[in-house]
């Protein structure tokens, strides 16, 4: 019985690394972006957070496409899906961070940057209210990401 439990937990640890959330901060190469898109396609997105990662994967997939029309179509489709996720769960800090990340990283000419301050304020408020923990590895990386972004006003970054 102990061996079964050990093997089960070992399998879960390998599976956990395949979740899009675990890959979010490593999207610095085309290969990693392709793996992220594949991971999103493989999950059964039932939670609002999973749906948000799947929406983000469409936007990231746009960067992997070579045709400008396909890039714009994928980006806009992902943006629309992500906005729906936020409408359905507007106070979800992780979904707000997903959108903040994409807005900070998207080319300016796409015009997807209007909610940078709003999302940053919600994240800071949730941090101050204790809804998110600075010690959590995901949020440590998220807060460092925020500190490094030029598109986020210094007045907000100073509140971290």
Work out the pLDDT band at 12, boundaries 50, 70, 90.
very low
22 inside domain: yes
What is the rounded CA–CA span in Å between residue 146 and residue 149? 5
67 inside domain: yes
Whole domain around residue 49: which residue ranges? 18-157
- Total number of domains in the chain: 1
pTM: 0.87
What DSSP state is assigned to residue 150? T
Mean pLDDT of 85-92: 97
8 inside domain: no
What is the rounded CA–CA span in Å between residue 55 and residue 49? 10
Say which residue, 17 or 94, is predicted with more confidence.
94
In this prediction, residue 9 carries a pLDDT of 33
Q: What are phi and psi of 47, to 5 degrees?
A: -85, 160
Contacts of residue 135, defined as CB under 8 A and 6 or more positions apart, other chains included, come to: none
pLDDT in tens, 114-151: 999 999 999 999 999 999 999 999 999 999 999 999 99
What is the rounded CA–CA span in Å between residue 69 and residue 20? 26
6 inside domain: no
Work out the pLDDT band at 16, boundaries 50, 70, 90.
very low
Instruction: Name the nearest CA neighbour of 112 among 98, 94, 93, 91.
Output: 98
Q: Which residue has the tokens 């400008």?
A: 68
46 inside domain: yes
3-state helix, strand, coil in the chain (%, to 5): 75, 0, 25
């Amino acid at each position: 019985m102990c061996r079964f439990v050990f093997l089960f937990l070992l399998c879960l640890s390998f599976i956990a690394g395949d979740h899009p959330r675990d890959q979010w901060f490593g999207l610095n190469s085309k290969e990693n972006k392709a793996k992220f898109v594949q991971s999103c396609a493989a999950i059964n997105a039932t939670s609002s957070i999973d749906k948000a990662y799947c929406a983000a994967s469409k936007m990231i997939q746009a960067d992997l496409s070579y045709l400008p029309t396909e890039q714009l179509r994928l980006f806009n489709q992902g943006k629309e899906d992500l906005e729906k996720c936020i409408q359905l769960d507007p106070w979800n800090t992780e979904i707000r961070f997903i959108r903040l990340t994409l807005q900070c990283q998207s080319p300016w000419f796409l015009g997807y940057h209007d909610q940078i301050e709003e999302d940053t304020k919600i994240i800071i408020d949730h941090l101050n209210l204790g809804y998110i923990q600075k010690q959590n590895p995901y949020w440590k990386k998220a807060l460092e990401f925020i500190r490094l972004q030029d598109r986020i006003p210094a007045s907000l970054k100073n509140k971290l």
